[in-house]
Structure 1
Amino acid sequence: MEGRTVRGWLFRGLIATLFCLLVLPLGIVVATAFDASSAVVFPPTELSGRWFGELLASPTWLRSLLNSLVVATGTSALSMLVGTTAALGLRRYGGRFRGALVGLALLPLLVPGVVIGVSLLTFFSVFGLQQSYLALVLAHSLWATPLTFSVMQSSFARFDWRRHEAARDLGASRLVAFRAVVVPEVRTGLVVAALVAFIVSLQEFVMALFLSGPDTRTVPVQAWNSLRQSLDPLVSVVSTILLAAVVLLVLVGTALAGIERLATDA
């Protein structure tokens, strides 16, 4: 009993240490965002919201924030459409064929972002779309869609499809039966999938670096460009805003789905 107790405390200590190592860099970034000096300094010499005001006065950073929101919204919508449709279609199959299709759907997650970025840059250049919102949305959807597909596949597996068949027997069309019977029951999965896709797009950097231009740079690309020249405090400010946005989205998902369901689906 004492040995198991010691091992249990050691395991908890290890988890706590790893958690601190993950959270500590984020805490440092947030702290530097509220420093009044013109350089990135930790610990802060003087607390101030000066750089948040500088951000609001910077057209370049505001445009990058808007670009990130536009691309993330488009990615969430497209990946939800494709991922949900794929999960519905896969429900009809079983056995090894189903496993092969699932593996194929998840394949983009195994391809390095650099490879995808270069390939898409070459492809979109043929059509003159290499620095467009469309190119960024399609690129981000390559990584977001497998995740929305996995979430919706899990949600559909928990649904009793005999209820959908009953609605069809009562005369409802496929679309009406899906909207009236299935959607209310898998609403949590839909919310989680949309949040996951949005967050994935919000933080994606590698493909955006290849495909964005001066007018379509997202926040990670703009931050990288700024850090190439100097340690700009505005990078800490934008990073803090994105971190707050991600935490807010997770809290919204938790409120709608519950923490256990959110963790299971995501």
Structure 2
Amino acid sequence: MSDAYRRERIEMVAFRAAYGLLAFLMVLPLLIVISTSFGRTGQLVFPPKGLSLQWYAEFLSEPSWMNAMVNSLITASGTAILSTFLGVTAAFGLRGVESKWIQYFIPIALLPLLLPAVVIAVIMLMYLSQFGLQRSYVAIVFAHSLWATPLVFFIMQAVLSQFDWELKDAANDLGAGPIRSFGEVILPNVKNGILASALIAFIISLQEFVMALFLSGQGTRTIPVLAWIALRNVLDPVISVVSTLLIVAALLLVIPAALAIGLERLAKQL
């Protein structure tokens, strides 16, 4: 066994060990939170003393949590629809455009992702208050869409870059109009990317806290906002239940998104 091969093996083992340690450190807090949600006592204790589903039952029987869940689903669905529409149309609209100004569009599209959530929240609060929408679903959806739309755009840019546009040209040569060529040629090839984009936008809105805190009212509080309010009063396993449900929801949505467009491509865009 040569020294070069031995050194390469050592480097590979060290890399895998470091990668495994990093993954463990990332997963460990999640496992602790999930385990405390099944505790039998009324306090957050790790390891939990006994196992019980009573805190899940309490979560499901509490009207305030159910209302917050409905609010979260409404805002997340609205964000997914709006940001997917804007991001997909922007990606299609800029495809094939040759202009020196296009190089400036990418930094502009990234700008909402670079701004702190509190800055976006304050801007939206000041602007929408002029129309009486500062504590509405519309305010939260607009704010969340500012974050989600750029991600949708970049995901669709990657998806469209893999599409063979000669297929569309061939369809047009055979007499298909723009609508028919889109529906029968383009859409079947990019629908997975659109679905993945919508799922990512949904996750972003479902778990976002800062903007929702600024822009939600008594009747539009989302799950993260109500969890923060509950934490200020008492620290009980119901908070772990909420965290566990958000973790599970994220996994159930990210996995289909990764399968739809490929894990490697999704990771590059996120």
In the alignment, which of 141, 160, 164 is matched to residue 160 of structure 1?
A: 164
- 1:124 alignment partner, SS class: helix
Matches of 2:164 and 2:66 in 1, distance apart? 46
Give the % identical residues.
Answer: 49
Q: TM-score, normalised by structure 2?
A: 0.93
Distance in 2 (alpha carbons) for counterparts of 1:11 and 1:255: 26
Say if 1:147 and 1:254 are closer, same or farther in 2 by CA, change over 3 A: closer
| Mapped pair 1:70 → 2:74 | yes
Counterpart in 1 of 2:246? 242
With 76-85 and 240-249 compared, the bigger mean Cα shift is at 240-249
Given that residues 155 and 265 in structure 1 are in contact (C-alpha distance below 8 angstroms), is that contact kept between their aligned partners in structure 2?
no
Q: Which residue in 2 is equivalent to 1:139?
A: 143
Q: From 221, 225, 228, give the equivalent of 2:229.
A: 225
Task: Write out aligned runs for 1:69-88 (5 A).
Answer: 69-88=73-92
Is the Cα contact below 8 Å between 1:189 and 1:265 reproduced in 2? no
CA–CA separation in structure 1 for the residues paired with 2:113 and 2:267: 19
User: Comparing 229-238 with 70-79, which one deviates more in the overlay?
Assistant: 229-238
Secondary structure of the equivalent of 1:43? coil
Give the secondary structure class of the aligned counterpart of 1:147: helix
Shift of the alpha carbon at 1:144?
A: 0.2
Instruction: Give the alignment's TM-score, normalised by structure 1.
Output: 0.94
C-alpha deviation, 1:8, in angstroms: 1.7
Q: Find 2:122's aligned residue among 118, 124, 133.
A: 118
Structure 1: any 5+ residue segments left out of the alignment?
Answer: none
**How many Å apart are 1:161 and its aligned residue?**
1.3
Q: 2:206 aligns with which of 202, 206, 229?
A: 202
The whole-number CA distance in structure 1 between the counterparts of 2:183 and 2:54 is: 49
Amino acid aligned to 2:192: T
Partner of 2:132: 128
Asked if the contact 2:208/2:224 (under 8 Å) is kept, the reply is yes
Amino acid at match of 2:247: L
**Mapped pair 1:107 → 2:115:** no
Do the aligned residues in 1 keep the contact of 2:200 with 2:253 (CA within 8 Å)?
no
Say if 1:192 and 1:265, in contact at 8 Å, map to a contact too.
no
Which 10-residue stretch deviates more, 130-139 or 165-174?
A: 165-174
Distance 1:172 1:66 in 2: 43
Matching of residue 53 in structure 1 with residue 82 in structure 2: no
Partner of 1:190: 194
Deviations 1:209-249 (A, max 9, x none): 10001111111111111111221321110111111111111
Comparing 27-36 with 156-165, greater Cα deviation is found at: 156-165
Alignment pair present for 1:170 and 2:186? no
The match for 1:150 is: 154
Matches of 1:264 and 1:116, distance apart in 2? 25
Aligned-residue offset at 1:41 = 1.2
Q: Which amino acid aligns with 1:135?
A: A
The answer to which of 99-108 and 161-170 deviates more is 161-170
- Partner Cα distance (2:113, 2:266) in 1: 21
Partner SS for 2:233: coil
Output the amino acid matched with 1:197.
Answer: A
Q: How many residue pairs are counted as aligned between the two chains? A: 266
- Tell me how far apart the structure 2 counterparts of residues 189 and 264 of structure 1 sit (CA, whole Å): 14
User: Displacement, 1:70?
Assistant: 1.0
Bigger drift between 178-187 and 138-147 goes to: 178-187
Name the Cα RMSD after superposition. Answer: 1.6
